[in-house]
Amino acid sequence: SRLCAAEGHAGQGAAACSAQHRSAAACHPHVELRTIGASVNGRPIDLVRVGTPSASKRRIWVTARQHPGETMAEWCVEGLLRRLTDPHDPVACKLTQRATLYVVPCVNPDGAVQGLLRTNAAGVNLNRAWEEPDEKTAPEIACVLAAMDATGVDLFLDIHGDEILPYNFFVTNRGLPNFDDRHERMLSKLERAYQRASPDFQTKVGYPPNSPTNVNWSIGARAVGRRFDCVAVTLEQPFKDNADAPVPHTGWSPARALKLGAAFLDAALDVVGVLRD
């Protein structure tokens, strides 16, 4: 069943999403669903934990749909969750032996239900609220960050969509003051692994390089990367099509976003052993 489907803009969409999460969690002994907070309008912020935590395991966090108009983000995270909770998938099983994954499929449920583009119900762009989230106007980020503080973070993936560039790519922390040679080794390995796992992912086209001065630390991947000294990336997907592998009659579709999310598990497994080297 769909986990918080991208088309869930109806009034009861958030409740249906939560019910689907709970149903999925009930079917898997190593999957836990809990509500870590509430949105501005009181909707639950669901956290799906896959894998049993232990001190020897790495902690991988995934968030999606801070910007509610970027519906491909939830299709992507759904593909990731479907595969991650498949007890017959050897990559998922191996990954959850070595890491615990914490997934927030819909950071902005109010925006999704209300059909907003980039903000929550208080008019806040949540991906500009991570440095010091206000519990009244950005409770969604405040509760996610508190949960991260409780677990720690070794790798962070924040899933989005881009209206201009017809490619799938990472927005990285290269060039920022806290990004060092260790981060570069891990990030480069992750990028290569994702390219092998999915030809839909590429590294040649993306945003301009970061400037080390006047850094906006309120952006999610930047804030998390600095706070936890970890590799943190934003995955951007196209609204149009993937120019490297165009499908003119559909463009970038839900089915392709599902596959891209599932393929991230291969990349994560490839790097999990070096995340704290």
Look at residues 226, 225, 259, 227 and name the one whose alpha carbon lies nearest to residue 242.
259
Strand partners, 100: 59
Q: Please answer whether residues 135 and 142 qualify as being in contact, where contact means their C-beta atoms are separated by less than 8 angstroms.
A: yes
Strand partners, 35: 46
Distance of CA 167 to the CA centre of its chain: 17
Per DSSP, 128 falls in state: G
Calpha distance 23→17 (Å, rounded): 10
Structure tokens at 67: 């910007």
Known catalytic residue at 78: no
Look at residues 190, 181, 161 and name the one whose alpha carbon lies nearest to residue 76.
161
Strand partners, 47: 34
Phi, psi of 232 (to 5 degrees): -135, 125
Calpha distance 151→253 (Å, rounded): 34
Look at residues 170, 173, 179 and name the one whose alpha carbon lies nearest to residue 267.
170
Residue position matching structure tokens 């960050």:
145
Three-state secondary-structure class, residue 145: helix
Helix (H) or strand (E) holding 64: strand 58-64
Exactly one of 70, 74, 140, 236 is catalytic; name it: 236
Inter-CA distances, 171 with 60, 157, 196, 230, Å: 17, 10, 18, 14
- Which residues carry out catalysis? 236
